[in-house]
């Protein structure tokens, strides 16, 4: 849109004067409150682009100023009523509303969109100039040119209130407390320089992008042809800027897409690495479990070996008891033994010895039972265990003989010979299976046949073939 830029800032106090209105009064005008806009004959509601009420925001700025302090003479003091606490910024678009309404529908819609785009850029510019202080912004369509009003000020109290107007702040820094003509000149020069910077920055960041010139033709005394040429150049530059912005936006978009793709690759790689780490950890855990299982089996094997050693000790003890019983039984052979038998004493002695045998055999049986609870996993070991149990049962049967069940043992010396035979059998260190077979065969034959005198290798007719 051909034309030149217009932007103006004005600072306002909490209270107005005959020459200058208050901040709230200016805010009411921007809101188009009834009676607050005498220069606007046909007011229209503002088109708010930021916030929703100039008046509400202005009241918040005034309330914050009431609670704020300013350092003066090294002491905190309240802010003066006539001190400027807020700024009204006005920026105008060079397209006249009459020209806008005269455009065809499609062009008019495009022009309105361009004005709104320009207004958004003005807001962005104001926010960069006045960080965290831009409160409300609205477009007005009810005067000669579309223009935007922006209200600027702090809504938070402070103990170090500063001048908010750019130029006045530069003036105070340059002049300080120097009231001389030289001091005032330094302050005025600083004010002018700062406001020129403000206008130049607005042109570079806003106007240049929309084809607006920095200055109009009148101030530079340009001819109409020169002005039109400058306008054509400004519009061409604006188109170039917009094209450059579009190209840059496309580049930024492509870069963003590339970054997203790269990030996706990185994420996928990290996910795969995480998967491999988890897999390795699972393998490590499985290996650890196998190691622990092997350790457990080793401990169980050691325990079983210990149990076997204990059984061996028990067997030795049984052997010792057998020897002792054989010696005891030898006392009752002959006439004295028969006399004791008639009196029933021999039977009691045998029962006591038998009870002692039974107690020791019961202990061995408990050992075997405990061992059986631990080795039911291994078939080979279980078979050995079964053989040991059967051998132990056969041994118990052989040691628990009774003359009533085995009449052959009533003969003189038969009982002692019986136990000596079992003792020699145990001294052979036979396997459990062999022990079981020999003892079972021996006991079956003993029950059916009369007792025969033993030889040095065993009973006659019951020789040990091992």
Give me the pLDDT at residue 242, please.
61
pLDDT at 213 over 90: no
pLDDT at 466 over 50: no
Cβ proximity of 138 and 149 under 8 Å:
yes
pLDDT at 427 over 50: yes
Q: Is CATH 3.30.930.30 correct for 6-215?
A: yes
- Long-range contacts, 97-106 (Cβ 8 Å, 24+): 97/141, 97/143, 97/144, 97/145, 97/146, 98/144, 100/146
Residue 405 exposure: Cα atoms within 13 Å on the Cβ side: 11
The ranges assigned to domains in the chain are 6-215, 303-448
Positive/negative CA dihedral, 98, 104, 109, 111: negative
Give me the pLDDT at residue 458, please.
42
Of 466 and 52, the structure prediction assigns the larger pLDDT to 52
pLDDT in tens, 344-389: 555 565 566 566 666 766 766 776 676 666 655 556 667 777 777 8
Give me the pLDDT at residue 270, please.
83
pTM for the model stands at: 0.50
Local confidence band at 462 (pLDDT 50, 70, 90 cut-offs): very low
Q: Give the dihedral of Cα atoms 109, 115, 121, 127; nearest 10 deg.
A: -120
pLDDT in tens, 2-39: 577 889 999 999 998 888 999 999 999 999 998 778 78
pLDDT at 119 over 90: yes
Helix (H) or strand (E) holding 193: helix 181-205
pLDDT at 189 over 90: yes
User: Which residue reads 């929703």 in tokens?
Assistant: 52
């Amino acid at each position: 849109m051909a034309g030149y830029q217009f932007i103006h800032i004005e600072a306002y106090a909490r209270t107005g004067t005959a020459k200058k209105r208050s901040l709230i009064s200016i805010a009411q005008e921007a809101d188009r409150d009834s009676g607050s806009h005498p220069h606007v004959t046909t007011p229209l509601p503002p088109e708010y682009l930021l916030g929703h009420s100039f008046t509400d925001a202005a009241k918040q700025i005034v309330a914050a100023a009431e609670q704020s302090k300013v350092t003066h003479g090294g002491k905190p003091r309240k802010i003066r009523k006539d001190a400027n606490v807020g700024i009204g910024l006005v920026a105008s678009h060079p397209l006249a509303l009459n020209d806008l309404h005269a455009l065809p529908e499609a062009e008019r819609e495009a022009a309105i969109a361009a004005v709104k785009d320009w207004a958004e850029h003005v807001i962005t510019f104001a926010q960069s100039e006045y960080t965290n202080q831009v409160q409300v912004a609205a477009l007005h369509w009810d005067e000669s040119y579309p223009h935007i009003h922006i209200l600027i000020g702090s809504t938070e109290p402070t103990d170090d209130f500063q001048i908010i107007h750019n130029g006045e702040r530069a003036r105070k820094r340059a002049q300080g407390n120097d009231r001389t003509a030289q001091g005032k000149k330094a302050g005025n020069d600083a004010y002018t320089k700062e406001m020129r910077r403000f206008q130049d920055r607005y042109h570079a960041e806003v106007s240049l992008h929309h084809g607006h010139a920095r200055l109009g033709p009148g101030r530079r005394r340009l001819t109409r042809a020169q002005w039109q040429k400058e306008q054509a150049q400004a519009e061409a530059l604006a188109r170039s800027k917009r094209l450059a912005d579009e190209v840059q936006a496309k580049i930024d978009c492509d870069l963003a897409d590339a970054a997203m793709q790269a990030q996706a690759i990185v994420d996928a790689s990290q996910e795969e690495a995480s998967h491999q780490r988890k897999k390795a950890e699972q393998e490590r855990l499985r290996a650890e479990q196998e190691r622990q299982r092997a350790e457990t089996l080793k401990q169980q094997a050691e325990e079983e070996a210990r149990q076997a050693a204990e059984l061996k000790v028990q067997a030795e003890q049984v052997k010792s008891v057998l020897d002792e019983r054989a010696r005891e039984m030898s006392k009752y052979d002959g006439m004295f033994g028969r006399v004791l038998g008639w009196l029933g004493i021999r039977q009691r002695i045998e029962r006591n010895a038998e009870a002692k045998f039974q107690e020791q055999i019961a202990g061995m049986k408990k050992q075997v039972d405990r061992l059986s609870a631990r080795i039911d996993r291994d078939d080979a070991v279980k078979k050995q265990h079964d053989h040991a149990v059967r051998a132990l049962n056969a041994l118990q049967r052989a040691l628990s003989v009774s003359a009533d069940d085995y009449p052959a043992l009533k003969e003189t010396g038969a009982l002692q010979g019986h136990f000596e035979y079992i003792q020699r059998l145990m001294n052979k260190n036979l396997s459990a299976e062999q022990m079981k077979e020999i003892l079972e065969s021996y006991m079956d034959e003993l029950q059916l046949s009369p007792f025969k005198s033993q030889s040095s290798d065993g009973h006659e007719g019951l020789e040990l073939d091992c």
